[in-house]
Chains A and B, each alone.
Chain A
């Protein structure tokens, strides 16, 4: 109550690594636990976990896995979950292209990145060729 909080602060965090397919399910469960902790509505939970699943799969398929940071964040009065997907894969040559619906270099529907973006409140992607890709998404409890 001391000062109006205007920047996002991280309250609670957890790091998980996704190295094989079977890691995705426990990862999704962990995200769900966090979402329940901040009383996120069921629909928003489902959207967040679906987005997390898309990004987790991308990481497995294109970068042979990576790490995810799960955080409870708060901005002023609202709480949310922030997920940071960090991989050391080949990187994305053209992010704009990758964000287009239906674009895919793999044999998928190409909904992963743009779909995940539509499901969350904030979406940020940084990629460097040969270094890796970092995707950060945030979903607010009532957003």
Chain B
């Protein structure tokens, strides 16, 4: 190649940073509320530093070269943190794209021969575009992580196993019971049964909006697993409309003990454990 564009870029590193910063700061999508100008500058400077360091004439045409691992790492870090801070995809994307604009401007000023300029522009575009894609991918990954963490939190807080009495556990289920949820319910219930040595578990479904055949199957599985462990499982909180659906769908729950309210399930549990609760006359 006649003109060594990597040399140009290295030489004008500070100019690139200044212009890029100017571009970013004048952009109307700048999120000063989420990131301070100093932070943004430090981030940008680090990126340009590493980029100019890793760039040479051979890897310029090879965006997949491992020379860029460090650049990608930094970009990944930036977009991950942006995803978590609540930047929009557009704002995150523009960050890399405004760098491309700046770089191309510099090339335009430095490279005189039109053929060279086109070649250099193409190569640089391809490289930076690849970086943009990576930025987007990591951005989405960052968002996914947030979602996954929230899902985990929801599953965790939605299956509280309560020791209501010595030997009696209760687990109120709120929300839909899908197979992933059933697994979590079963796991926490059975573990708690072992830990507390309980013989009766009450599964309260007052908070389950609908019971279809799939949900019923999940309930049956939970009951069977509890029985395999050697404990009894009672299902309580069956609302009248749920009783109707169960019968209309032809679901057979005759093998399991069902109670209308948590209170009656509890008195069943007392009876099983041969515990008597009575009012004391004073």
Contact = CB atoms under 8 A, between A and B. Distances in A.
A–B direct contact (CB < 8 Å) = yes
A2 B187 contact: no
A1 B138 contact: yes
Contacts of B137: 1, 3-4
Interface residues of A, number: 7
A11 interface: no
Interface string B144-158: 100000000000000
A1 B187 contact: no
Contacts of A77: 141, 144
A2 B144 contact: no
B183 interface: yes
Interface residues of B, number: 11
Interface of B is mostly: helix
A23 to B, nearest CB: 28
B134 interface: yes
A43 interface: yes
B134 A2 contact: yes
Contacts of B187: 41, 43
B216 to A, nearest CB: 17
A41 B186 CA distance: 13
A2 B130 CA distance: 9
Interface string B213-236: 000000000000000000000000
B76 interface: yes
A78 B121 CA distance: 38
B76 A1 contact: yes
B145 to A, nearest CB: 9
Given A2-B72, A41-B187, 4 more contacts: A1-B72, A1-B138, A3-B137, A4-B137
Interface of A: 1-4, 41, 43, 77
16 contacts: A1-B72, A1-B73, A1-B76, A1-B134, A1-B137, A1-B138, A2-B64, A2-B72, A2-B134, A3-B137, A4-B137, A41-B187, A43-B183, A43-B187, A77-B141, A77-B144
